């Protein structure tokens, strides 16, 4: 009986080992960025404005129309902006964080829940930015809101896990396992300070990071109380 259970657990682990939804999101972002580069500065900028969002346009739609008419291109921009990036550094940073934290999250909650949380919570984080910058015509793009949501889900699911990091010590690198709570807590504190005291750049809204993280943490708490939402055989490995 124990042998059968171990075999069943092994098969489930093999099936869920490949985070194909995470890979798909990364490939979409990379493909879009490469396409913008190939289009040239003028056309690339036009596509950024088309698929990104402007806070004044979003709030204008939500304030002036009834809910049944909210399905508008400006509102959809809250989600499509997650796949648009103005420069390679912005894209690389977002994909690096998404990859580090997304694999464990997708394995624990499944491919489609992972996709839903990234898109829904990322869109809500962007909505928070639009509300916070009401009246601004600033273009906002980037996956930061969705990535931060996944980081929040990670902490909610793995609060006691340790993360392997290479720490520079003089001329050498020392590998150490640091509590995820400390790593993510430091990251969140830095972004919270940027949100409160730092400037808003042309294409990166720091408040999207904070809002996305808090939404992800709340989503993880809800997943914990919903039966069958978390694959516990993957949550702690």
For 2-156, where are the E strands, in sequence order? none
What is the SS3 assignment for 147? helix
* CA pseudo-torsion sign 78, 82, 84, 87: positive
- In this prediction, residue 229 has a pLDDT band, given cuts at 50, 70 and 90, of confident
CATH of domain 2-235: 1.20.1540.10
The sign of the dihedral angle between the CA atoms of 86, 87, 89, 95 is positive
Residue 233 has pLDDT above 90, yes or no: no
Over 60: is that where the pLDDT of 170 sits? Answer: no
Q: pTM here? A: 0.83
| Per-residue pLDDT tens over the stretch 71-101 | 888 889 999 999 999 889 889 989 988 998 9
- Range among 44-53, 69-78, 161-170, 215-224 with highest mean pLDDT value: 215-224
Nearest Cα to 180, choosing from 109, 82, 105?
Answer: 105
CA 130 to chain centre: 17
Phi and psi, residue 15, nearest 5°: -65, -35
Residue 199, token pair as written in the block: 């400037």
Residue pair 103/92 in contact (Cβ under 8 Å)? The answer is no
pLDDT for the residue numbered 203: 43
pLDDT of residue 87: 87
């Amino acid at each position: 009986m124990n042998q059968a259970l171990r075999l069943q657990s092994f098969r489930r682990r093999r099936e869920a080992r490949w985070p194909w939804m995470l890979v798909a999101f990364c490939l979409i972002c990379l493909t879009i960025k490469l396409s913008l580069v190939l289009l040239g500065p003028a056309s690339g900028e036009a596509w950024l404005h088309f698929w990104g969002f402007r806070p004044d346009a979003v709030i204008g739609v939500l304030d002036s129309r009834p809910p049944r008419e909210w399905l508008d291109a400006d509102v959809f921009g809250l989600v499509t902006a997650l796949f648009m990036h103005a420069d390679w550094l912005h894209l690389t940073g977002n994909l690096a964080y998404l990859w580090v934290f997304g694999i464990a999250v997708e394995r624990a909650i499944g491919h489609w829940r992972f996709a839903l949380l990234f898109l829904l919570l990322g869109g809500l984080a962007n909505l928070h930015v639009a509300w916070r910058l009401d009246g601004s015509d600033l273009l906002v793009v980037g996956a930061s809101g969705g990535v931060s949501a996944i980081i929040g889900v990670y902490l909610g699911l793995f609060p006691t896990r340790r993360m392997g990091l290479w720490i520079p010590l003089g001329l050498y690198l020392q590998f150490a396992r640091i509590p995820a709570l400390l790593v993510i807590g430091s990251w969140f504190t830095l972004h919270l300070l940027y949100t409160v005291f730092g400037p808003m750049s042309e294409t990166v809204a720091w408040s999207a990071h904070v809002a996305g993280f808090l939404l992800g943490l709340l989503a993880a708490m809800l997943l914990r109380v919903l039966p069958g939402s978390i694959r516990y055989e993957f949550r702690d490995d």
